[in-house]
Amino acid sequence: MADPKTVLVTGVSSGIGREVAALFGQKGYRVFGTSRQPERCPEIPEVALLPLDVRSDQSVTECIRAVTQEAGGVDILVNNAGYLILGALEECSDTDAVLQFQTNFFGAFRMVNAVLPGMRERGYGRIVNISSGAADFAMPFEGLYSASKAALNLYTEGLRQELKHTGISASVVQPGFILTSIRENRAAASMNMPAYSIPKDRFEKAYSRYLEKGGNPEKVARTVLRIARAGSPRFRYRVGYDSRLLELRRFLPDWLVQRLVRLYFGID
């Protein structure tokens, strides 16, 4: 690549972020990847590791400063860092809710605001927010996660409208189930109420089954690369048949969607 673009991928210690960073590294991009504990993060060829906690303004500022000093700025930002909280909404404290949004929503928001001035100056930028199929319906027992991803989708759509004609695009990637460490890395809701234990247990078993049969994170990485290479990237990219199936939602009444979700997760 004559003039390699600089890519910053958040959360490369495992799963999707790791595959995205590795693929861009292989393709000759200049890649920076982040982790809250880069010293514990396995090395990825051609990827420079930086510390970053997206919940912290200071950490975000320092990360962007480091990339700007090294490479002049961020051309492609991939907001991948995220996690989920398992628990009924009633079992979640307000702190659980704040923390979930601090990472999945405000984390991306902070990163975008930190890179936009440089992108605007150069008249070029690609913002890729890793959302989820779960943004299109409320996952039972992962309701905060769905809410945070739905917020991320609308935020990205707003950004895209406001950045039209600036050379900067904003897109969401909505993967279905992808086999990563997301289950091991998740948090539990603050409370555990006996009233929810049976349906939550059923949900958990179905969820684990779907995840084990989930797609390869490399599929998501290839989609992010397509966005980076596209002349004018679309707003939404779905990955996996389960995510694509959610397109049908707009043709179905809400009660039917909710019934199908309960059947799918075996909680009725």
Ligand X SMILES: NC(=O)c1ccc[n+]([C@@H]2O[C@H](COP(=O)([O-])OP(=O)(O)OC[C@H]3O[C@@H](n4cnc5c(N)ncnc54)[C@H](OP(=O)(O)O)[C@@H]3O)[C@@H](O)[C@H]2O)c1
User: Is 145 one of the annotated active-site residues of the chain?
Assistant: yes
- Sheet containing 47-51: order of strands: 47-51, 30-35, 6-9, 76-79, 125-130, 168-175, 236-239
Please choose, out of 22-30, 67-75, 119-127, 175-183, the segment that lies near ligand X by the rule CB under 6 A: 175-183
What CA–CA distance (Å, rounded) separates 200 from 86? 9
Known catalytic residue at 241: no
Would you count residue 14 as binding ligand X (CB under 6 A)? yes
> Residue 36 or 120: which CB sits closer to ligand X?
36
Which of 81, 114, 159, 221 is in the footprint of ligand X by CB under 6 A? 81
Q: Does the protein bind ligand X through residue 83 (CB under 6 A)? A: yes
- 264 catalytic, yes or no? no
- Which entry of 5, 29, 131, 243 is annotated as an active-site residue? 131
Q: Is 219 among the residues that bind ligand X (CB under 6 A)? A: no
Among 9, 22, 23, 54, binds ligand X (CB under 6 A): 54
Nearer to ligand X, 15 or 118 (CB): 15
Q: Per CB under 6 A, which of residues 31..50 are in contact with ligand X?
A: 35-37, 41
Single out the residue of 6, 100, 103, 171 in contact with ligand X (rule: CB under 6 A). Answer: 103
* DSSP letter for each residue of the chain: --SPPEEEES--SSHHHHHHHHHHHHTT-EEEEEES-GGGSPP-TTEEEEE--TT-HHHHHHHHHHHHHHHSS-SEEEE-----EEB-GGG--HHHHHHHHHHHTHHHHHHHHHHHHHHHHHT-EEEEEE--GGGSS--TTBHHHHHHHHHHHHHHHHHHHHTTTTTEEEEEEEE--B-SSTTTT-EE-S---GGGHHHHHHHHHHHHHHHHTPBPHHHHHHHHHHHHH-SS--SEEEESHHHHHGGGGGGS-HHHHHHHHHHHTT--
170 contacts ligand X (rule: CB under 6 A):
no
Which of residues 10 and 156 has its CB atom nearest to ligand X in the complex?
Answer: 10
Binding residue for ligand X, selected from 26, 46, 55, 206, defined by CB under 6 A:
55
Active site residue 208: no
Stretch that binds ligand X, among 80-88, 111-119, 153-161, 189-197 (CB under 6 A): 80-88
**Per annotation, catalytic residue among 5, 13, 146, 243:** 13
Task: Just list the catalytic residues.
Answer: 13, 131, 145, 149
Q: In the complex, which residues of this chain contact ligand X (CB under 6 A)?
A: 10-17, 35-37, 41, 52-55, 80-83, 103, 130, 132, 175, 177-178, 180-182, 185, 214
